[in-house]
Structure 1
Amino acid sequence: MHSDRFLKCTMDEESIFWPSREEMARPDSFHPSTLQDVNGLEEGVEFLPTMNAKKVEKRGPKRWVVVTTALIVFLLLSLIVGLLVWHFKYRRAPVQKVYNGHLVVPNLDFIDAYENSSTPEFTMLSKKVKETIEEIYRSHSAIGPYHKETVITAFSEGSVIAYYWSVFIVPAYRAEALDNAMADKQSLIQTVTYKSRNPVLQVKSVVAFPADPSIIESSRDNSCSFALHAKEGEITSFTTPGFPNSPYPNNARCTWVLRADANSIISLTFKTFDVERCSEKSDFIKVYNSLSPVEPHSLVKLCGSYPPSYNLTFLSSQNVMLVMLITNAEGRNPGFKAEFFQLPKMKICGGTLKGESGVFTSPYYPAHYPPNMDCVWDIEVPSTKNVKVRFNVFYMLEPGIPVNSCTKDYVEIKNTKYCGEPPSFVVASNNNKIRVQFHSDQSYTDTGFSAEFLSYDSSDPCPGKFTCNTGRCIVKTMRCDGWVDCTDASDERSCNCTENQFRCNNGWCKPRFWLCDGVNDCGDNSDELQCKCPDKNFKCSNGKCILDTQKCDGTDDCGDGSDEGKCDRAQSVSCKDYTYKCRNGLCMSKTNPECDGKKDCTDNSDEENCDCGIRSYSKQSRIVGGLNSEVGEWPWQVSLHVKGQGHICGASLVSDKWLVSAAHCFQDTSQIRYSDATLWTAFLGLHDQSNRNSEKVQERSIKRIISNTLFNDYTYDYDIAVLELQSPVTFTTTVRPICLPDSTHDFPAGKDIWVTGWGATSEGGAGATILQKAEIRVINQTMCNTLMTGQITPRMMCVGVLTGGIDACQGDSGGPLVSVESNSRLFLAGVVSWGDGCAQRNKPGIYTRVSKLRDWIRQQTGV
């Protein structure tokens, strides 16, 4: 028999939500006493006496029979022992199960006293509810025998909703049955009136869910539990303990119970958010649309850090909300500052929209829409027109839900469900009416959507433009230009290729100069197949074909080093121009080994000086129109001002006192000596040119300017300069250095790359006030030289979008061109240098290639 010695669980009914591990009962291990019977069985086996040889020879079994019998007996005994051990030690071993839940008491009215767990009214009602829950458990054979303790934690309106947690100690083999019984809502729903109590207590809608293990394992500290009630017309603030002067506590579970008046909902916004960087066991914050921390009512799980402009506004569907912070033993982050206030509960969602055009959004946009919402818009335009709906912003993404299933939150139009975060799209109707349905379930919400409806002539839905099959309108010049502009690629189908294009095997037309550039532009790789080497051969960057066995063998078989400079494994090879050289003089075959988080050099020199290229904010906002950067998104970006002229050029911070910029920014003119360092001022951490006095901005004078002596002001070759600051800067969330690439660092053709700056947003236009960003693509050097009529030198790189429309421009000069490499670390690939106009078709931007001038930077700065 197993031991029945269970430790008594001591619970404080006023404690928050559930006990910690230290407060949970831990039953003794089972020690099967039946093993003595097993031994007895073994001793009872009878064998013939072997001292009587005659008897053994004539009447006894042969020796193999005896051995076989003994072996079978031994195996049977082992099996029996094993089964007994498994049964008592594992199958019947007790496990602890904790559930969080809530139930509704429909025949009681909520009173203010139920908000405070120290009032007599709270104590009296919690006692009655607890007795009721225990009675419900006892009525279920799969639940009652294993129940140990239940604690009522809170009440809210509706008429009265009681929140609780329950602890069970159950044999392992019964755990699944317990889970199934607790999950069966119908079996738990009780409409019975418990007449033994006065007043009569009715209970219905009993719901329970397994507790989140990561929350159970955290320790409980009542000093880190808070209860707040919104006030009419006021905003209430709260923070993590110690914010912002000291970090939040380690090994803690902090809770904030937020309440609003009846028939209101809560709007919660995190104004500042900085906790431990996300990992499997990192600190995190969860927000619940409930006062019980159950996963089905979780609105969001947050970790890491967010820029101030990130959308961190969440709405409840009722007048309560729970915020919970769970911390581990590590991390020293400041935490968060949050605000909340109450809003009237939306009585009508959706409606009828009429007219030529109009706009509509998901509920409470741009805040996260509330859970448990269903809205229907019936849209009608004049009877002579057709109607289409264009979603300009669409974010309905839920963790773990495939975007092709849309089983949780979605928008439904014409029997098709949309979810995820697709780019802007259009849904058209073949008449003047259309219905848009919006649905959110009880968990995990998102930003939602912003949409407009438009009326159009069915014979010409996009006047003067090309109509995509989706209904989207695009400029006619985008038709058959080699780039997919319609989300369904209908702009690139059924095209007649021009003399400057070639036809892919899939029928698409692509610019002829994209052939053999090492990038799969066709989508089926047919633009590269004709340049492909034979099987078991490697194609060098110079077009030469070598055997696969010659790749990464330590010998430059290509002649340009491309077979040895693009190896994934790190091994010592003879030093060449294309191999990474460690401080100890050994060279590595691996491509771009520096600061990738792996020790490739035996002296670890490839992982030194790597405090760079990491953004303090681990999350970046989704782009909602325009290309404005986020605060702190590019913390190495510098704005260089000249006295009396304002912003002139950009630069990149590479250490606490050195900047990299373009030499042409400091060329003297007949009026101004731009080479005079005293004329210049550097603004670091700047985001908005109209707000240079922000506390996040650091202002520094320039001590000296060193331009490359080989700079050619006619060809713009060697267009690079370094600037020393008068005093070092302090690294913060908005001021950090960018990593400098090694001279062997490879930025291959086709790689996506970012350029930033406050330059003109159009050729000849005014400069931007907010820091701009653009994602562009590295262009094959040979093809670029063809496009730019032989003006490209090895110190230059071509980056852009050949269809035009995206480029650096005046005022961006000297600014950074950055590439995201291993471990999300960013490297300074280039410096904005020159171009033939701005954003013109087939005219890419030209940038100084930093890797080719890395040694010069080191000589001048020591960085």
Structure 2
Amino acid sequence: MDIFNARIGWTSFIIWFLRVLVCECVPLPDSGQNHSPQCPQLYPVNLQKQWEISVPDGFQINLTFTHVDIKSSITVLHDEKVLGKFCGNENSADGRHPGHQPILSPGSRLTLKIQLSDYNPDRNQNVGFSAQYQAIDIDECSAPEPEDGSGPLCSQICLNTLGSYRCACHHGYGLRSDQRTCMCKFGECRGRFSGVSKITSSFVDYHYSSCLQNGSRSEWLYEEHLNISFTFYGGLIMGLSVGLGFDLTHVTQKYALIIDCGEPEPLLNGGVTLLSGFQNQYLSVVQYHCNEPFYSSYGGINVSLTCEADGQWRSNHDVILRPACLPVCGRPTKQIENDFQRIIGGNDAAEHTIPWQALINVGSSRGGGMIIADRWILTGANVVVFNGQVQTPEAVSVYLGVTDVHQIIENPSLNVTAVHVHSEYNNSNYLNFDHDIALIKLKDPITFQAAIMPLCLPSEDDTYDTGMMGMVSGFGIADKGKLRFLTNKLKYVHVPVVEQKKCSNSLKGMPSSQTPKLTNNMFCAGTPEGGKDSCNGDSGSGFTLQSENGRFWAAGIVSWGLKCGQKGKYGFYTKVANYVDWINKIMRENIED
């Protein structure tokens, strides 16, 4: 038994390759695909799963890992024979990525097993693995002679065939009943050989050529049949044998076979480009691509496929791939200028600058949210919970891609299938905003484009540094002079992250019966002189920060505040980084809904 065993931190990822001899009466597939559960989404913890991979007898399994993304580790523990130590991802410096070189099994049966421990101290941001397998014919004729002294498979000529082999003999020899050894077939020719005897044998040869069809170059596969006829003659002259001779004639017949692989499988959120060839015929090359800049290819590589002689599209690794396109998060196609205006009377957001913004209406109440996946909206629990009751999906209206509330007339709300509120949210007195977070699931997936794109979730490298400028957006309260009104335009403001101690001090002197409690699941932002803040109607919208690589990520959710934009007061936000595990858990557990 050969064992591949990689242990990463507390996560154990184990693949067994097990040879099994069984008797089956059903046809077995010659290729297939396996991947960790929920791939390309994040894989769950406490997982044990195995796949039985079988190909016809006489074949071995060619296994290629098309993607491996497992948390890297400097230590990979093992206590049995190891085929490889794989972890990390393709670009990680400390990982052990298997690359795209195939792993070849010794036989026609494999057991592929993944085992993950139930404890992972770090937040999981990895998607697991995907692998392709294909049946590869075993060339029995090239195998070395057995060490038991039984001799070669065939005493003279060994002919490899698909899934098996055959023995043949040189001229003048015949195959014995054991179908592997040869014996002399003809003795010395004596006496009279009279009459005419004719023996015809046919041979088939395959070769490739090209033809012109309608003025275009097209690749054809030719099948050439060569018929050879032997005519024997003989006789006696003066009682002496004059020998034996034969005439040889041959007729060549050619049959043109057009190999058509058909249309390649369509790619969701992507397309296919014909790089060379003609009408998806033999030796045509196509390349899959994703709809950039809104989607990127899984693994970062555009897959190219070639039409092979068996009518299948295959990659350079001789496997049939099904590429995937993943959404690009936090990278709007148009940037906002750093004008640092106020949302309380601040600037209108131009189209395509805040594409993750969602407008949420529940009855007569207005709130906001952030797109984080093609079926998921992140918002505040206070937006969807009234009087301690979670609102039904039918009562929640979600609008995307709008920068003006009047646009909802032309853009009907999306169907909501579920509302998930954090189980520890309890704000019956409207003074406890701890765990103010909720997820809204849409019935149908979103196709991302310039006006609608997702926001990234926090990663392990993202931090909340005091003074970092964040951006708040929403359709909430704005002002004009001394007047305040509910804006119909999407507005934004840039405000800095405030030190937690200053956040706490800003609440001192306020009546405890009227002031929510500050917890470690919150942070505040704003300026001590006031004038820049989120306000009523902005609840559930996002407070975003920008990484060094230019990617925007969801740092906070507009939660609560005292006296919008007043001097010495700040806006308070749910700290999204504390809830990444909860968000991923909800999305994983409800992926099939």
Q: Higher helix share goes to which structure?
A: 1
Q: Higher strand share goes to which structure?
A: 2
TM-score using structure 2 length: 0.41
Larger RCO, structures 1/2 (Cα 8 Å, 6+ apart)? 2
TM-score using structure 1 length: 0.29
